[in-house]
Structures are given as structure tokens and as C-alpha cells.
A and B are shown apart, each in its own frame.
Chain A
Amino acid sequence: MPDTRLDGQLRDARNRLLADIDQPDMSTVRLRAGVLRRRRTATRVGGLAMAVLVAAGVVSLRPWNRADHPGPEVAATPSPTSGPVWMDSALGLTINGMTQSPVYPPGEITDVEFLDADRGFALVADCQVTQCQQLTVASTADGGLTWALYLPPTPLPAGRKAVPELLAFGPDELVLTYPEPYYSADGGNRWLPARPSPPQPVALIPQGAQLRVRPAASGGCAGGVVEVWVFEYGHRGDLAVQPPIDPCWTNGTPAADGAFWVGGTDRRTGAPALAVTRDRGKTWQVPALAGSAAGAPAGSWAQVSTLGAYAYAVVVGPDGHLGSIYRSVDQGGRFTRTRDGGAPMTPPSTLSGEVVPMLDGRLLVAGTDGRWYISDDDGATFQKSRIGPRQEMPLVGRLVRTRAGYVALDLFTAGWAAYSSDGATWRKLHLN
């Protein structure tokens, strides 16, 4: 006797499956085809280049120069089974390359968000001198090995070289911030204008929401406003209870303990300051940063990086000036200065991006000189990474925090990016 209930369920499942299938425009597939063609061309060029190099006995291969070498396979060792590895064994830093050719969406990687070690998104912007022509949203479900490419319809304003931010709210929930917010509920495949929502003060940061700072017209921290962003609606409104400092930086997504941090300057003294809320924006605490203005040029602000109960506050100034560093062992309740910005300091003198607290207790930073720096004394002193052509660490553009782990951008000054969940071992994203 046939199992009619099961047959009915199978029929329902079939109908729902077909209804769930979203067929994107053929232009999306044509874009991918163009990427494949470029990849094949790059591989052919790479193979030819390798043959020429071997024949000539040339040893001065420069993998960081993209103009000479379009993809990692050119710089890779000839092994067919393992990718290139760049490392500084003295500092314990490693970047694992991959053997497969990357995909090449047009433009540069401007934003990367990882939700866990597998699921991540990248925004690639194709910008000319004065204007960005095309955005591509890339999505990976395997830690950056393979990527699906999508073309969001976001119109870019003419005559302005401005790139939106890509906010990831969940495994498939994305928002593009600029010029008018768009959202995608399927990982970037289909984009819709954000639902209209009259801006109104937000008394309680909703679950899953993110914070952004709307900078003042002056460009400094004074006059900045903390905004609340949510999926589907984009900018939901300004936070009703603003932090009691002038804000110009926020961690955006909550730290592991649920805290939202905002960095900026003290409204009265102008000294770099922090504020934190642990009750979703109802109240704010301002931890003391003793001597934060010491050696800090005008316009400096504070920002924070957290790992478990540890919080590291750093004073950052214009042009990436790196001032004092503070450490807290109680989730930011009380900070102790570990590096005095007013005293003669060891390099780095600048910071590009954010401080990465590593699992072994060390701090990793990138300087604006492109070097990686490691501190094993909470920022008092740093060791500088070696760089070079023989699989040592590449130059790095900046280090940024994502929802899970960190991303190193503009590696080799060639637009490459790498992801790490612990700050020590990185894997190159197979994108550009």
C-alpha cells in the first residue's frame, strides 16, 4: 500500500524546492565566465613565466608585485599539492596560500566580513580616479577557497569616489550602506532597497543590530553621532542615549561579552576616550584612560580590541599615529597603561587598522609602513617582522576585525587579503 502521506510530503518538498530556486539574471553568469577566462589567461601567463624563470635561473622572483605576477600560482613553489607559505618563524606568523587560481572580480577588496571560519563576504569595488564604476559582492562558504560573485544594483553617485560598507547580519543577511541602503536575504544573490523607515531615536539596540558612527562634517570626533543599523531597514535611527564622549569609532558588532564600544574624545578636554554599554545602549560607562593625551597629536582618539576578559585600548592619531596603549583584564572595567605615548617609544610609531589580541597573549599590529609588529609585553615594545622575496611575511595594508577573526588587507600592496581566527595563522583568500 503506497505511503500517501510520505508521497504528499515529497510532492510538497518538490514544489517548495522549485519555489526556493532563485534564477539570477544571465549577466551574473556572464560575469563569472569573464572571471574564468581571466583566470585561465593568468594561469597560462603564470606557467609561461615559471618556465622562463626556470630556464633563465632567475631567483629574484617578487611575488608581492602584482604588475609582474598576476596570481599566487606564479609565485608558488612548483609543488602541485601545496600552496605557497609565507612565514616569520621568529614571530610565529604564517600565511598559507592556496594552489587553486583565485577569482578576479574587477577592482579592489574594500571590505571583508567573516561570520565564522567558513562563511564570509567581501566587497570588491572597481574605482577609477574620481568614481567607482562597479561593485561586486563575493560570498564564500568554505573559508575563502571558492567564491560566488554577485552584482548588487546599488547605484553609485557620479563624480564621487565613495565605496559603501558591507554589513553582515547573518549567514545570508547583508546590507550595503551607501548611497541608499540595499539588503540581501540570500547571501548577496538578490538585492532589494532597504525598507523605508522614518529615522527615530532607538532606545534599545535590537538583537543582531550593529552600530556605526556618522562622522561630523568637520571630520573630527566632535559632532559625531552613533547610528543603529539593522537588517532589511538599514539605518534604523540614531541611538537615543548617545555615549558621553564625542564618537568617531565603534566596534560595530558586540564583543564576546555583549559590550558595544565607542571610541573618540572627551567632550570637555578633547583627550582620547572610550565609552562602553553593556545594556544595549541604555547606559554608558567611560573607563579612565590616564594620560591618554600624552604625546597624542591633535585629533587623536581611542579605540579598543577585546579577547575574552582582556581589552586593549589604543590611542590613534591622524596619519595613523600610535600613542599610548592600555590593557584591562576585567573586560574594560579598569585600564592600565602599558605604553606611554609621551615617552620615547620603540617602533611602530603608526598603526594601520586595529590591534589584534592573539590567543597566546601577544599583540599583533600593522604599521603604516606595511610591517607586521608583535608585542609580548602588552604593547610596551614590539618586534618587527621580516619581509622579503623568499616566502617571508609580505607587506600588509591594514588589519581589521570581523565578526569572527581578523582580516589582513592589501597584502603585498597588491590587494590580496587573508583571514585568521587567531592572529597567528592566516590563510589567503582566493579573491584577487
Chain B
Amino acid sequence: MDALGDLYHACYRRLVAQLYAFTTDVSEAQDVVQEAFARALARPKGLSDVDNPEAWLRTVAINVVRRRWRRRKLLDAILLRDRPTVQLTAPPPEPERADLRDALTRIPQQYREVIVLHYLADLPVDEVAELLGVPAGTVKSRLHRGRQALAGILGGYGAAESQAEEVSHA
């Protein structure tokens, strides 16, 4: 199997979990990761000239997400009058998974990104910091506030909070 094929099997799920931080939609995260792999395959040299292929794929996928988001904003502005009066939406999440997924979509984006990258995608704090281009202390602060925000939405957690420094995850 070629190197990109190996990389695809080894990194695909991890990358999708990381991109979920930016899309909040698993299907879209899968799509942008596939797009990143497709772009790698379309390069004449593949990723043979790239030092860190996984980081390259992640950066490309994140850029795809950001570009699509900008286009959607523009399209929304241009085509607003084209919208139907009834907008179909996806069916609600299943009950057992509704709470946290729903809560993640309701907290501020900068909190959601670090929560998902750290807790759901297993990235250590320093890698989250590098990925987002912010200091590690900022990541810890956002983790702390993100947890507070989640707890506030989910309810039933009282004042119990953990400090980002206490997270053994990292």
C-alpha cells in the first residue's frame, strides 16, 4: 500500500475528530478530511516533500472549513431572498447523545474548539495551542471556561468545576 494509503488508514478518524471541533457536524468533518486527502493525492509529489503529513492534512482541512464558512456567509447575504419559507433541518439527535452535542453547539466557538480538540480529539494542551496559534495558558483558560459553560447548559453539576491544569488528559 502507498504511503498516503497508510496515512489514510492511520490518521483519518483522528483528523475527523479534530475537524469536528470546527464544523460541529461529523459528516462535514469527514468531508473536509476526505477533501484534504484528495488534495494530497492530487499533488504531483503527494506528501513526500512534507515534513509532517498529518499536520499538513489538518491545516488543509481547517482551511477548507474556513473557506466554506466564508462562502456560506457571502451566499447567505446574496441569496437571502431565495430562501424557502420552510427550511428543512436534520432530525434531532438521539436522546442519549443529545445533551452534550447540543451543548457544544451552544457554547462560544473558541471554547468549543478547545473542548473538542482536547477532550474528544485527544490533543494535548500544547498541541491545541499550536494548532490554534494561541498560548497554552489561553487554551487552559478556555478549557476552564468552556467546562463552566457546558456545565451551565447541562445543569445538575452545581459549582463543581475542574481546573484545566487538573486534566490528566493532557
Contacts and interface: CB of A to CB of B under 8 A. Distances in A.
A23 B7 CA distance: 13
B138 to A, nearest CB: 20
Nearest to B94: A16
Nearest to A15: B120
A2 B160 contact: yes
Interface string B108-137: 000000010001111000000000000000
A5 B8 CA distance: 34
Given A117-B82, A404-B84, A1 B160 contact: yes
A186 interface: yes
Interface residues of B, number: 58
A392 interface: no
A171 interface: yes
A10 B75 CA distance: 34
A7 B120 contact: no
Interface stretch (A61-69, A340-348, A417-425): A417-425
A17 B26 CA distance: 8
Contact of A36 (B42, B90, B119): B42
B120 A117 contact: no
B119 A10 contact: yes
Given A6-B151, A10-B100, A142 B84 contact: no
Contacts of B39: 33, 36
A288 to B, nearest CB: 32
Interface string B66-78: 0010011001001
Contact of A6 (B8, B27, B38, B147): B147
Contacts of B81: 425
A13 B105 CA distance: 13
B82 A425 contact: yes
Contacts of B38: 29-30, 32-33, 35-36
Nearest to B80: A117
A223 B31 CA distance: 45
Q: A interface, how many residues as a size bin?
A: 35 or more
A10 to B, nearest CB: 4
Given A9-B100, A13-B101, A37 B42 contact: yes
A40 B88 contact: no
A115 interface: yes
Contacts of B29: 21
A119 interface: yes
Nearest to B97: A16
Nearest to A118: B87
A107 interface: no
Nearest to A20: B26
19 contacts: A3-B157, A5-B156, A6-B151, A11-B119, A13-B100, A13-B119, A13-B120, A17-B120, A21-B26, A23-B13, A26-B5, A35-B38, A96-B79, A115-B88, A116-B84, A142-B72, A170-B88, A189-B30, A425-B81
Interface of B: 5, 8-9, 12-13, 16-17, 20, 26-31, 34-35, 37-42, 68, 71-72, 75, 78-79, 81-84, 86-91, 97, 99-101, 104, 115, 119-122, 147, 150-151, 154, 156-157, 160-162, 166
Q: Considering the complex of A and B, which 5 residue pairs feature the smallest CB-CB distances, nearest first? A: A33-B41, A32-B38, A36-B42, A2-B162, A33-B38
Given A36-B38, A148-B34, 14 more contacts: A3-B151, A5-B157, A6-B157, A9-B154, A17-B20, A21-B12, A24-B34, A28-B34, A33-B41, A96-B79, A116-B88, A117-B87, A146-B71, A422-B82
